[in-house]
Amino acid sequence: MKVTDVIRKGDSKLLSLEIVPPTRGYSLDEALDHTEQLMAFRPDFINVTTHQPHVVLEEKNGEVIRLQKSNKCGTVGVCSALKHRLGIEAIPHVICGGNTRFDIEDKLIDLNYLGFDNLFIVRGDPLPGHKTFMPPREGHEYASGLVRQARNLNEGLYTSIQEKGVPTDFCIGVAGYPEKHYESFNRNKDLDHLSEKIEAGAHFVITQMLFSATFYISFVDELLKRGLQIPVIPGIKPVTRLQSLKRIPGTFHIEIPQRLVSSLEAARTPAEEAKAGTEYMARLIRDLLDAGAPGIHIFTMGSGKSTQRLLETAFGKGGI
């Protein structure tokens, strides 16, 4: 089932959730238990993030060895578990970081063989301790290059063979930044980059988390002015604590509306704080859907309970 098919069908608004793989050495069961709590809301898709590994040097027994580390691994395994254990369509994230074009082709072939219909493609963050993203040799510097590679596979054009092969049929999603990506000079330049990804072959957009419907409406209007008619799904984060909200502007470079900040500051207990944040985000979801959003994408941050509370507040127990 493709994201665009669900949107085109239009029987109801799309609901997708995003989870992270368990930390290395931990069980998948807890993540699946949290996700299973949300099945009553009938999500259409579960996105699973991925992170690029980084190389570290460690001395063992007097010998310096290179180790490739990643705290969050197993994206494809988590996606397979979601499909086979919970019966839900999963969308693996595919990133430029740490992958050559040949690595990426192998991964996409595996995903095709495993029956995944959708991909979510992002460049990836800089490595720990680095301020800028460094693409690997024979890799992609920008997500648009990876999107183009996936589109080429959809046309039967493989990197590693000369002749035309059997085409894949991936539906390709990319990230959008209503308040611009922090590395872009300005919003117009950031929209140029998104335009490149769409023209390279993207089929849908999921936005960075946002806290105001105004940003979403303006963002979609700017794309339409450029002649880019593509489904744009707004990203939402459950909010339950003022303390966690304080970290978001510095981490994600986005604005928190004063109305949300004031409502959390006025709370006198953790329960009041969670109620204020949940009610604000539930209103935002309804505002986004009223503004024409084709659905909602929720960054669960591994918390099934806060996501469940948010969906119940926005829609009741029957789902979106």
Phi, psi of 149 (to 5 degrees): -65, -40
**Pair type for strands 63-69 and 54-60:** antiparallel
The confidence score (pLDDT) of residue 289 equals 97
Q: How many other CB atoms are found less than 10 A from the CB of residue 4?
A: 19
Contact 187/254 with Cβ under 8 angstroms? no
Structure tokens at 91: 């969308």
Q: How far apart are CA 309 and CA 279, in angstroms?
A: 9
Instruction: Provide mean pLDDT across the span 154-161.
Output: 94
Regarding the domain delimited by 3-314, which CATH topology (the fold level of the hierarchy) does it fall under?
TIM Barrel (3.20.20)
Nearest to 235 by CA among 259, 221, 216, 250: 216
The confidence score (pLDDT) of residue 250 equals 87
Instruction: Provide mean pLDDT across the span 209-237.
Output: 96
Lowest-confidence segment of 23-32, 35-44, 123-132, 210-219 by average pLDDT: 123-132
Instruction: Provide mean pLDDT across the span 31-44.
Output: 91
3-state helix, strand, coil in the chain (%, to 5): 40, 20, 40
Quote the pTM value. Answer: 0.92
**pLDDT tens per residue across span 39-69:** 999 999 999 999 876 555 566 676 766 555 6
Q: How far apart are CA 53 and CA 99, in angstroms?
A: 9
- Give the relative orientation of helices 270-290 and 304-315 as an angle to the nearest 10 degrees: 60
pLDDT-derived band of residue 31, with 50, 70 and 90 as boundaries? confident
Instruction: Provide mean pLDDT across the span 2-24.
Output: 92
Mean pLDDT over all residues of the chain?
91
Cα separations in angstroms, 33 against 113, 274, 291, 302, 303? 27, 22, 33, 10, 10
Structure tokens at 92: 């693996």
pLDDT-derived band of residue 225, with 50, 70 and 90 as boundaries? very high
Name the one residue in this structure whose structure tokens are 């926005």.
314
The confidence score (pLDDT) of residue 58 equals 65
Name the one residue in this structure whose structure tokens are 């959730």.
17
Q: How far apart are CA 169 and CA 118, in angstroms?
A: 9
Q: Which residue has the higher pLDDT, 21 or 69?
A: 21
The confidence score (pLDDT) of residue 311 equals 95
